Structure 1
Amino acid sequence: MPVTPEQQAEIETLREVSRPTRRAVSDGMEEHLYKAHEVLDHGFIRVIDYMGDDAAICQAARVSYGRGTKSVQNDEGLIRYLMRHWHSTPFEMCEVKFHVKLPVFVARQWIRHRTANVNEYSARYSILDREFYIPAPDALAAQSTVNNQGRGEVLEGDEADRVLEMLNSDATRAYDHYEEMLSQDGQKGLARELARMNLPANVYTQWYWKVDLHNLFHFLRLRADSHAQMEIRVYAELMCQIVKDWVPLAYGAFEDYRLGGEQFSAAGMACLKRMLAGEEVTFETSGMSKGEWREFEAALK
């Protein structure tokens, strides 16, 4: 269960309270406040707090650039200009704080984005719950033959059953031993900070993750991409929906120029110009490596 009855009662209590404020408020984000959106089998994302909206981005930009923005007629046009030309500081004026419940191996990948403030649930002080991420059958895949960090064909039949049985039994056994090592029934037991080392990487942890919009967009560009690992991508895709409700103009520009756009190298641009001029360009005449050419062809398609 992603949210315990106690947590749900706390969420409902928090959502019942509303206060007048003079600060910028996003109606779309207000609907997400405190609500737990389920992810994977036991995970969730919920918004704890936020600051700013689309207008805050424009306000910051006009302070920074002054009269240089007078030719931009509206907020949407200004935001699209900022996104198109890779301006970052105006987007840093918006911040959001998430409460995320996620498997440890996803957290270790997530934490590589070092531009956020993080406070994680401590297994030194508390005992982790008996909750593990077990992939759905359609998420069990063999190693890709063309990508060292990707997945290939989905496992089926006896092979899928064998893997699922091992994942379940190993996680259960590790947690059983974790509990047995802790102090109980009059035994001294092992300190929590040591016993936790026996837990598997698919056990769930939780953290508060606070980030500004510029760095959140960078995270989403990488993790909501089709090439990202599925287990972190589903969190990023849900965050995309939340951000879209929070700052619709900024998210629309992000979707156009980052998620839906392509960036070409100098060699790629040279090939593209040759193609537009009617020349037939092949891998052999492109001057690119095999990997670059494969990505270039994929972008054009």
Structure 2
Amino acid sequence: MPLTPDQQSQIDAERAAAASTRRPVSEGMEARLYTAHPVLDHGFVRVIDYMGGDAAIVQAARVSYGRGTRAVSDDAGLIRYLMRHWHSTPFEMCEAKFHVKLPIFVARQWIRHRTANVNEISARYSILDREFYIPAPEQLAAQARVNRQGRGDVLEGAEAQRVLDWLRDDATRAYDHYEAMLSQDGQQGLARELARMNLPANVYTQWYWKTDLHNLLGFLRLRADAHAQYEIRVYADVMAQITRDWVPAAWAAFEDYRMGGVQLSAKGVEVLKRRLRGEVVSQEDSGMSKGEWREFEGVWG
């Protein structure tokens, strides 16, 4: 259960409150504010605050005063131009702050995206909840034979059940020992900052993660991709839906040029030109490695 009744009550109270403001708002993001979107078995993502929207991107790009007189279509065209030519600073004028509850091993992968402000719950001061991520059976997979960092065939039968039992039993036992070490019933009790070292990586943590739109889109380009690890991809998928509602024009350009687009190397461009001239080009005379050629053929045939 991602939220307790008390937490949901607090969110309802936050959403019921309203404040007048002179600053422009995004109606799509206003609708998302504070709502906790469930992820995995105990996790969630919710927007705590934000600044700017599509209009802020345009205003920054033109360094304009007020809204100006240009049509919405002109603004969308400018945003597409900025995205197409890899301009970054106008997109940095928008920011969002997320409250995320996620397994520790996902957080350690996520934190590699360093262009954000992060404040994580401290197990030096707080006792972490008895909540750990246990994968659904369909997510238990063997190591991929080709991709060293990916998954292969799904485990089945007795092997799958044995793995699930180990994951659940090991996490429960480690947390039991964590609580026992902290306990001051008949003993001094170990300091929280030391007891936490025994917790498994599938225990849930929480943080506030604030970033600008440019870096958020960079995160989503990698983590909302089909090749990303499932456990971080499901968080990115939820954040992608939120971002689409927040900045619809910027999201449409991002989907077109980043998520749906293809980047070619100079060798790739030359191979395409040779093919258009009617030449038959093989990997051996393309100048590409086997891995590059496999990716090239995956897109261009």
Paired amino acid for 1:280: V
Paired amino acid for 1:226: A
Where does 1:200-279 land on structure 2 (aligned, <5 Å)?
200-279=200-279
SS at match of 1:286: coil
SS at match of 1:77: helix
Q: CA deviation at 1:277?
A: 1.8
Where does 1:1-301 land on structure 2 (aligned, <5 Å)?
1-63=1-63, 74-300=74-300
CA distance in 1, matches of 2:300, 2:140: 30
Paired amino acid for 2:109: Q
Structure 1 residues not aligned, in runs of 5+: 65-69
The answer on whether the counterparts of 1:183 and 1:191 sit within 8 Å (CA) in structure 2 is no
Q: CA deviation at 1:186?
A: 3.4
Q: TM-score, length-normalised on structure 2?
A: 0.96
Paired amino acid for 1:221: R
Paired amino acid for 1:200: P
Q: CA deviation at 1:73?
A: 6.7
Q: CA deviation at 1:135?
A: 0.5
SS at match of 2:284: helix
1:67 is matched with which residue?
Answer: none
Paired amino acid for 2:240: C
Paired amino acid for 2:284: E
Paired amino acid for 1:164: L
Q: Residues 27-70 of structure 1: CA distance to partner in whole angstroms, max 9, x if unpaired?
A: 11111100000000100000000000100000000018xxxxx9
Q: TM-score, length-normalised on structure 1?
A: 0.96
Structure 2 residues not aligned, in runs of 5+: 65-69
Q: CA deviation at 1:282?
A: 1.6
Q: CA deviation at 1:128?
A: 0.3
CA distance in 2, matches of 1:26, 1:47: 13
What CA RMSD, in Å, does the superposition of the two structures yield over aligned residues? 1.3
Report runs of 4+ in structure 1 exceeding 2 Å deviation.
none
CA distance in 1, matches of 2:148, 2:119: 32
CA distance in 2, matches of 1:175, 1:300: 51
